[in-house]
Structure 1
Amino acid sequence: MLALFARIRTTWGAGLASIGAAAIAAGFAMHGHAAAAPARLEAMALAALHVFAVAFWFGSLLPLRAVALRRDPRSAAASILVWSRPALVFAALALGSGVALALVLAGPPRALLAPGYGWAVIAKTALVAAMLLGALAARFRHAKLMARGDVLAAESFRRSVLRQALFAVLVIYASAELASVDLPSPATR
């Protein structure tokens, strides 16, 4: 219900929507491996931060595509470049908290090479890396060309965002698989 307040174009509506997003992220953090981890509070805090940052990143893909559909590529590029500043922060938060969470749950980095949880983390990381490369290309190549008035760059930007959305679906699937895999045993840590 709180997430529906995002439709209200006021400060209090955005504030309530943010509370709703944080509550959803905390709800996800209270289940799965983070809730059963030895460092439970740290893992749950990292999981909530990770889900919140990922929600911003993934949730902004369709609006970005809509902005790129504008007739004037310069206007679209200006909006995209302004949006990309906080987006880079949220992407860094998503990546950093994801890496930290994997290390808190699995133990030392060598545990991530073990079959099961480690391989699932590696698969998810590869998908996120592909998505991140697409995001960086969209921001630093396509958006800059759009700012110069290149109409074809807008089409490239839209295709890049669509590929990122497809990778996002695969990342969500990999995350679901990751949640069903057992953590490495303390003996392999």
Structure 2
Amino acid sequence: MSSVEAVTLAAKLLSYGAALVATGALSFMIVFRSLLTAAEVAVIRRHVGLLLVIAVPASLAIVYATVALLSGAGLAGGFDAELWALVAGTAAGDAVWLRLAGLALLSVGLLHARLCLPALLAGGLLVALSFGLVGHTQDDPNSPWLHALLTLHLAAVAFWIGSLWPLLQLAGAAEGARVAAVMQRFGRIAGVFVACLLLAGAGLAALLLGGIAPLVTTAYGRVLLVKLALVVLLLGFAALNKWRLVPRLAAGEPGAALRLRRSIAAEIALVIAILLATAVLTSAVAPP
């Protein structure tokens, strides 16, 4: 892998991850605010703020890496002003500007409580739509369907993965009954989002691959299989939390909070691996 390809993967991983997690964490704060303490809300706000700070330069780094690739001069070529102007007017540039607009709206929602919900809805939508402007969905004959499925898929992904860090922090709180109530409500809501995630993901895979055989006969299919395996593991941990660990926490079983924190930490590690696989799918390999 060249240095430019490495920067591209890193920029996509940070941009995708930070933007989606920030959207989901802000959603979590709104949905569960009545069950959270003021200190917990403040921690989530700082978490979202940090993610937004990461997402902005990471998104711009995607343009930089694109310019560097086009220049053929390695990383030094990423500063070519003429190529920046050229890339800025392409679909790749439009995707970054749309994502930055979405991140700006999320920042407004973070800073102004009264505008939080509308800013989240508008900003989250722009962030999700920005991912459809580039990559394999853009030039596909089924592009409208792919864009709709991708937006639904990303909305579900954002809420799920964005909730994990707040849940990890909350699992260490002293009030077991309140924590269990949040976890149980999250489990009910997450069930709907996971169903949307899986249905939309299956639709995307079917339209992009055009059959089962490419899963094993193409590089894209094999990376997708790795991603699917990671998702299955993630679902396994989610099921463990919902059906075993959260009920034990609600019952006041000693050690339940620690086991729950470890399980959520494992979910976060899997999410990072899934985001890396997604970055590879959108840049290093192409569907058949």
Same fold flag (TM > 0.5): yes
TM-superposed CA distance for 1:148, in Å, is 0.5
Structure 1 counterpart of 2:141, from 29, 34, 38:
38
TM-superposed CA distance for 1:15, in Å, is 2.0
Q: For residues 116 and 31 of structure 1, what CA distance do their matches in structure 2 show?
A: 20
User: How big is each residue's C-alpha offset from its partner over 1:46-82, in whole Å with a ceiling of 9 and x where there is no partner?
Assistant: 1111112111111000011122111022221011101
Task: State the identity as a percent.
Answer: 32
Q: Aligned ranges for residues 1-189 of structure 1 at < 5 Å?
A: 1-4=104-107, 5-6=109-110, 8-10=112-114, 12-180=115-283, 181-184=285-288
SS in 2 for 1:91: helix
Q: For residues 130 and 155 of structure 2, what CA distance do their matches in structure 1 show?
A: 11
Task: Show structure 1 runs of 5+ residues with no match.
Answer: 185-189
Q: For residues 56 and 8 of structure 1, what CA distance do their matches in structure 2 show?
A: 20
TM-superposed CA distance for 1:173, in Å, is 0.2
RMSD: 1.3
Q: Is the 8 A contact 1:73 1:151 kept in 2?
A: no
TM-superposed CA distance for 1:28, in Å, is 0.7
Q: For residues 159 and 19 of structure 1, what CA distance do their matches in structure 2 show?
A: 34
How many correspondences in the alignment?
Answer: 183
Could you list the structure 1 runs, at least 4 aligned residues long, displaced by more than 3 angstroms after superposition. Answer: 6-10
Q: 1:165 is matched by which residue type in structure 2?
A: I
Q: Is the 8 A contact 1:67 1:80 kept in 2?
A: no
Question: What's the TM-score, normalizing by structure 1?
Answer: 0.92
Question: What's the TM-score, normalizing by structure 2?
Answer: 0.61
Q: For residues 151 and 76 of structure 1, what CA distance do their matches in structure 2 show?
A: 14
Q: 1:77 is matched by which residue type in structure 2?
A: A
Task: Show structure 2 runs of 5+ residues with no match.
Answer: 1-103
